[in-house]
């Protein structure tokens, strides 16, 4: 009952996809985990074998997540591992006596004292059909007593191993989703919190007229409502395990979006003695989730203010094409170098520039911008002539 075939060469495309899938599980070079150890022990017991392995096959090496044998390895070269035999078929590989396999006669782990004389491996196959590893058993003597039930157990253990990998991956994604919500909450709360502090400072001075007090009261109320809405959005998203964002589209006047952002940062602009110029070449309307696009505009205008010096001029320019409306947030501030451009719109990006008034930057704002714009079917990009030469951030949204 012996089965052995010489490995065929995998296509470059298949191997690339297989490795990408394997690395998504984040199992290579990871520490031992109890369930994997238990799976290996069950395999060893079921076969009354000298040892068992759970192994994962990378591009040049094989990593052992569990090893109950007396062979003291946690990693070995791919060419030396019998585990790679599992790559040739989605069926169980069974070698009752390795001494009968010409292709293994020079294998170091077969030739060694008390080496591998018997070997059976069930491939760990993903839902897409990629073989990423194997659950295997070995013995230091030939075995001709293996029955179908034992082989079935080995196959089931490989399936359980895959289920464990999938559950680990889902848990990690879930944790990252909650972590993202936390960082988004901190980021989204930062600007309104700063505004409330500034409003409080103005009230404390007691120098405002009745008209300005009334205006300030309205701003405080609106800021509070924005915070409440942000919290509600977060709670609604948290109900979805996949952290999907449910957009609520409505028809909005383009200038209303721009004016809302400008009003939000009116006080911040005055604090840094900056001016905001708005140039809009369209009076049209657009279908968007207004709250989400407000978040996008607030992020971009906030960054323009942060990375511009006192007294600087900032511009919001709006233009229309046949199918899109393009918004440009332009400043003459610290600018971006080539390395910064490659990092933009990634989570927790660390750029070379530091806010001019030591304002805080958490590195997640542009990531949120990209996510929300893409959900609207739009695009986002940036341009800069270099350090200290300003920058422009563009959003293109379909009409």
For residues 365 and 303, give the distance between their C-alpha atoms in angstroms, rounded to a whole number: 9
CATH topology for the 12-171 domain: Beta-Lactamase (3.30.450)
396 within 8 A of 355, measured Cβ to Cβ: no
255 within 8 A of 280, measured Cβ to Cβ: yes
pLDDT at 4: 40
Q: What is the separation of C-alpha 292 from the centre of its chain, rounded to a whole number of angstroms? A: 21
For residues 320 and 340, give the distance between their C-alpha atoms in angstroms, rounded to a whole number: 28
pLDDT at 126: 83
Residue 355: count of CB within 10 angstroms of its CB? 16
For residues 92 and 135, give the distance between their C-alpha atoms in angstroms, rounded to a whole number: 10
pLDDT tens for 62-119 read 999 999 999 988 999 988 888 888 777 788 999 999 988 888 888 889 988 888 999 9
pLDDT at 6: 37
| Token representation of residue 236 | 């609604």
For residues 125 and 131, give the distance between their C-alpha atoms in angstroms, rounded to a whole number: 4
Contacts of 168 (CB under 8 A, 6+ apart): 25, 26, 27
pLDDT at 379: 93
3-state secondary structure of 359: coil
pLDDT at 167: 78
For residues 58 and 76, give the distance between their C-alpha atoms in angstroms, rounded to a whole number: 10
Q: Name residues of the chain where pLDDT drops below 50.
A: 1-10, 241-243
pLDDT at 222: 83
pLDDT tens for 315-328 read 999 999 888 999 99
Contacts of 175 (CB under 8 A, 6+ apart): none
Helical ranges in the chain per DSSP H: 12-24, 34-47, 108-111, 148-205, 210-238, 254-264, 266-271, 290-306, 338-343, 365-375
pTM of the model: 0.48
pLDDT at 378: 92
pLDDT at 106: 87
249 within 8 A of 287, measured Cβ to Cβ: yes
pLDDT tens for 179-225 read 666 666 666 777 777 778 877 877 877 777 878 878 888 888 888 88
For residues 252 and 340, give the distance between their C-alpha atoms in angstroms, rounded to a whole number: 33
**Domain boundaries along the sequence of the chain:** 12-171, 247-399
Q: CATH number for the 247-399 domain, one of 3.40.50.720, 3.40.720.10, 3.30.565.10, 1.10.3300.10?
A: 3.30.565.10
């Amino acid at each position: 009952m012996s089965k052995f075939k010489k490995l065929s060469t995998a296509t470059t495309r298949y191997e690339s996809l297989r490795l990408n899938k394997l690395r998504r599980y984040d199992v290579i070079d990871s520490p031992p985990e109890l369930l994997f150890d238990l799976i290996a022990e069950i395999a060893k017991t079921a076969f009354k074998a000298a040892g068992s392995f759970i192994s994962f096959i990378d591009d040049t090496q094989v990593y052992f997540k569990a090893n109950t044998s007396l062979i003291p390895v946690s990693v070995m070269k791919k060419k030396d591992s019998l585990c790679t035999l599992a790559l040739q078929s989605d069926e169980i590989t069974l070698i009752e006596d390795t001494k009968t396999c010409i292709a293994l006669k020079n294998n170091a782990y077969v030739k060694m004292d008390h080496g591998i004389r018997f070997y059976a491996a069930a491939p760990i196959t993903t839902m897409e059909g990629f073989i990423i590893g194997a659950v295997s058993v070995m013995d230091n003597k030939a075995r001709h007593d293996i029955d179908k039930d034992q082989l079935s157990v080995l196959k089931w253990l490989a399936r359980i191993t895959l289920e464990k990998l999938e559950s680990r991956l889902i848990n990690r994604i879930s944790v990252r989703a909650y972590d993202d919500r936390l960082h988004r909450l901190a980021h989204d709360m930062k600007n309104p919190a700063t505004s409330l502090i500034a409003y409080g400072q103005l009230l404390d001075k007691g120098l405002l007229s009745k008209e300005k007090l009334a205006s300030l009261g309205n701003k405080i109320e609106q800021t509070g409502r924005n915070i409440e809405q942000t919290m509600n959005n977060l709670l609604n998203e948290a109900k979805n395990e996949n952290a999907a964002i449910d957009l609520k589209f409505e028809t909005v006047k383009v200038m209303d979006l721009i004016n809302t952002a400008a009003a939000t940062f009116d006080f911040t602009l005055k604090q840094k003695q900056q001016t905001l110029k708005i140039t809009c070449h369209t009076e049209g309307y657009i279908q968007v989730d207004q709250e989400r696009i407000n978040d996008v505009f607030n992020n971009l205008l906030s960054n323009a203010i942060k990375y511009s010096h006192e007294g600087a001029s900032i511009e919001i320019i709006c233009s229309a094409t046949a199918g899109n409306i393009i918004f440009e947030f332009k400043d003459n501030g610290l600018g971006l170098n080539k390395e910064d451009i490659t990092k933009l719109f990634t989570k927790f990006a660390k750029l070379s520039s530091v806010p001019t008034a030591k304002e805080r930057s958490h590195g997640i704002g542009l990531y949120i911008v990209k996510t929300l714009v893409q959900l609207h079917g739009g695009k986002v990009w940036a341009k800069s002539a270099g350090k200290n030469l300003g920058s422009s951030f563009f959003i293109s949204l379909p009409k």
